[in-house]
Amino acid sequence: MIKRTDSNHAEIIKALRKIPNLSVFSTHKVGKGFPDIVIGYKGINYLIEIKDGNKPPSARKLTDSEAKFHHDWKGQITIIKNIDELLEIIL
């Protein structure tokens, strides 16, 4: 099953594409708990799960497949609710 994107998904990607020398790829269609986007910046790859910060915390919970992926993944993965949180991580 291909998951839907959160309402802030497109806005975050649009903002990221304005940053020089940064690449971003929307991976939400991968499914199976894989994060929503992958970012490449300054030689580092970031796996990012986007949640809608306007929703209550109960609606921002990871799905079962997302939680399993996060648990099993041995590398970096981050959950963000807005572009400001993401910029704090990558800049």
Please determine, for residue 73, whether its predicted confidence score (pLDDT) is greater than 80: yes
Residue-wise pLDDT for 49-63, tens only, equals 999 999 999 999 999
Residue-wise pLDDT for 13-61, tens only, equals 999 999 999 999 999 999 899 999 999 999 999 999 999 999 999 999 9
Please determine, for residue 2, whether its predicted confidence score (pLDDT) is greater than 60: no
- For residue 26, the surrounding DSSP H or E stretch is strand 22-26
Determine the pLDDT at residue 4.
74
Determine the pLDDT at residue 5.
81
Q: How far, in Å, CA of 83 to CA of 89, rounded?
A: 10
The domains found in the chain, sorted by start residue, are 9-90 (3.40.1350.10)
**All residues at 6 or more sequence positions from 86 whose CB lies less than 8 Å from its CB, including other chains:** 12, 16, 48, 78, 80
**All residues at 6 or more sequence positions from 9 whose CB lies less than 8 Å from its CB, including other chains:** 26, 28, 36, 37, 50
Is this structure's pTM higher than 0.85? Answer: yes
